[in-house]
Amino acid sequence: MKQDSKQLLFLSIVSFFAQLFIASVNLSLVYYLNDVMNYNASIIAITVSSLSVSYVIFCLLLEKPTKKISPRNNIFISLFMMGVSILLFVSSTKYFFILINLILYGGFTAFLWPHMASWFSRGREDESLNRAISFFNLSWGFGSAFSSILCGILTEINVILPLVVSISAFFILSAIVKIMTYKLSYLKAVESEENYNKNSKLIDKSTSLRYYSWIAVFMTYFFFGMFTNIFPLYAKNDLMINETRIGILLWSKGIVSCIAFYYLGKKKFWHFKSSYIFGCKIALAILCFITAYCHSYYSFFICFMIFGFIYSMMYIQSIFHGVSGAINRTKRMTIHEVSLSLGLVLGSIVSGAIYDVFGFNNVLISLGVIFLIITIIELFIYFFNKQKNTVKIYNI
């Protein structure tokens, strides 16, 4: 096996297990704060969103400093310190310390994904870039899909068990990363992005479609914020669905996403095509209106599988159009991560507030209206710029 393939395999394995336990923590926080701390939906949404806000802030603050550090060291720091943060979280009883530890957890996650994705895409374009992105998306996608089942099963045993298992996993995985990247020369030799860019004579050939793709991933995660933080409460408290069956619902979305990631990673019909970007946004808005009238377990199952495909399309377009032709890929991946995180935060908070006052159906109708308004405004801007041929390329 070539060293390039070995490197992709290593990164894929680490991404799978990292996301498996990150997503398990994120989902279990909802149950923990509801069952143990007795917080309502709005407080839970705000509390859980704090780690995403922290992630956004630290992504922006750390983008330049962490470029001086090799990706392998950034990944190690992230995994180890996430374990420490969640360990402190489960040891806390006062809200102030709970919030502080979640902020730390979100902050240390900022060392992971921008650098992981940048490492996957380094030195790649076109089909090679699409292949690497496919590996990346499949690895964390499968981790995310199976985390919902893992979390559901462990939560039914004990609500704190998913957090305890994840803490142990973070420490073990960080140790494996440290040992492997020290022992294997082709991993140890990977230099920081700052040094890599200095030694490479690259010309920026970015596409302006990245801006519309970043808004698309923001919208996707706005819906996803409701999907992961509010829907489980609605399903458990109003529909009387247990944690394992909720986990299977979330798993269905993840599996469809992984299948779509694999398919899209082999095809290029969607490359640099604005119609697929805007089409997915309209489809997401329509899905919100349809899901608002779902009440049975199986109707939600179908809707969430449809969301899984839309989600994968919008996510992969954001990464591909974001880094394609770019020199500073960590910066581009930081913007991608900030976009989705802001969507996750606002989606959680807005959905939680609407759910507490108006109910779950009105959450989905409101999201559908918001998405349609955003898409219509974007379409006006896109066609105006296309007609005038004055699309301005900003240096981001």
In a domain, 17, yes or no: yes
How sure is the predictor about 3, in pLDDT bands with cuts at 50, 70 and 90?
low
Instruction: For residue 165, tell me if it sits in a domain.
Output: yes
Q: Is the pLDDT of residue 97 over 60?
A: yes
Nearest alpha carbon to residue 288 among 260, 262, 271, 310 = 310
- 394 located within any domain: no
Which three-class secondary structure state does DSSP give residue 244? helix
Q: Which helix (H) or strand (E) holds 206?
A: none
Show the tokens assigned to 205.
Answer: 């050939």
Q: How far apart are the first and last CA of the chain?
A: 36
Cα–Cα distances (Å) from 274 to 82, 213, 231, 316, 382, in that order, read 38, 9, 31, 14, 9
Burial of 361 (0-12, 13-18, 19+ CB in 10 A): middle
- The tens digit of pLDDT for each residue in 208-228 reads 899 999 999 999 999 998 888
CATH code for the domain of 67:
1.20.1250.20
- Is 176 part of any domain? yes
Instruction: Flag whether 350 is in a domain.
Output: yes
| 395: in domain | no
pLDDT value of position 391: 46
Cβ contacts of 36 within 8 Å, gap of 6 or more: 159, 160
Residue 328, CA distances (Å) to 69, 73, 134, 198, 331 in order: 14, 19, 20, 11, 6
186: pLDDT strictly greater than 70: yes
Number of structural domains in the chain:
1
More confident residue, 303 or 348: 303
φ, ψ (nearest 5 deg) of residue 12: -65, -45
pLDDT higher than 80, residue 321: yes
37 within a domain of the structure (yes/no): yes
What the block records as the tokens of 247 is 């986990």
Rounded Cα distance between 129 and 125, Å, is 5
Per-residue pLDDT at 17: 97
Tell me the pLDDT tens digit for each residue of 331-385.
Answer: 999 999 999 989 988 898 899 889 988 999 999 999 999 999 999 999 999 988 8
Q: Could you give the CA distance from residue 281 to residue 391 in angstroms, rounded to a whole number?
A: 21
Structure pTM? 0.86
Identify the pLDDT of residue 393.
Answer: 47
Identity (one letter) of the amino acid at 371?
Answer: F
Identify whether 284 is part of a domain. Answer: yes
The answer to whether 137 and 261 are in contact (CB under 8 A) is yes
Residue-range definition of the domain harbouring residue 289:
3-196+203-388
Smallest Cα–Cα separation from 263: which of 129, 137, 348, 110? 137
Tokens describing residue 343: 């969507």
